[in-house]
Amino acid sequence: MSIIASNFKTNHTRKSTASFVNEINEFLKSNDILSEVYVFPTSTALDSFDTVPNLTLGVQNAYATQKGSFTGEIGTEQLDEFAIKTILIGHSERRHVLGESQSEIAKKFAFYKELGYKIIYCIGEPLEVKQSGLEKTLEYVYEQFEGIDTNYENLILAYEPVWAIGTGVTATNDDITSVHSAIKARIAKPLLYGGSVKVGNVAEICALDGVDGALIGTASWNVEDFKQIIENTKDL
Ligand code: PGA
């Protein structure tokens, strides 16, 4: 059963998110699709959506707090309002654009783990590391597990090479399977691939050994494309 997740990043409004979620919900229901589907809208578009059990709304980021003085952040008080119990942690844009350190990420992970959240934990190497070979890539990726409880029961991993995110350059099947098999040998958790996954390549990628689904940005923002992505992977 594929796990298919859409990361909206800084896209969609409250209104367009609601129509997207409702459309995906109807699509899953009317086609009896049982794939595990996640949507991560912007924080401003979180809401209490009435969805089938296999469609889950999550948050792209939150601070390791219930509430308090953390300007620009949200905590569990805001998530509880909409019964959000799923969070993305360690996304490359938070690491490399927003400057979140591994120790901050580990602290966030521990906080949300303690509360039983489903965590989609992202790892992945930048281009210069990839260019220095598989061994260096794995070393880099393993460092991103520092301070992370990889035995946590509610954990899904997402391998997203930074150079493939939002660039249109997807990792090759060989790149994906070599990293996935190495991670899988150490950590027995569902492992998604992310990085320029599209309608046209999602089925092939999700069918690879060691790939349990996909975390998708750009290609998932159009609701018809996201439906097609779900359709293309529903039997995998
Ligand atoms: P992309 O983003 O599909 O636009 O490459 C993937 C991600 O960042 O999760």
User: Domains (ranges, CATH) in the chain?
Assistant: 3-233 (3.20.20.70)
* Segments of the chain with pLDDT less than 50: none
- The pLDDT of residue 1 is 80
Catalytic residue among 100, 125, 160, 180: 160
- The pLDDT of residue 147 is 98
Catalytic residue among 91, 93, 100, 180: 91
CA of 168 to the centre of ligand 1 (A): 9
Q: What's the CA gap between 77 and 66, in Å, rounded?
A: 5
Q: What's the CA gap between 61 and 94, in Å, rounded?
A: 9
Question: What does the pLDDT look like over 49-67, one tens digit per residue?
Answer: 999 999 999 999 999 999 9
- The pLDDT of residue 197 is 97
Question: What does the pLDDT look like over 19-41, one tens digit per residue?
Answer: 999 999 999 999 999 999 999 99
CB-CB contact of 234 with 20 (8 Å): no
What is the pTM (predicted TM-score) of this model? 0.97
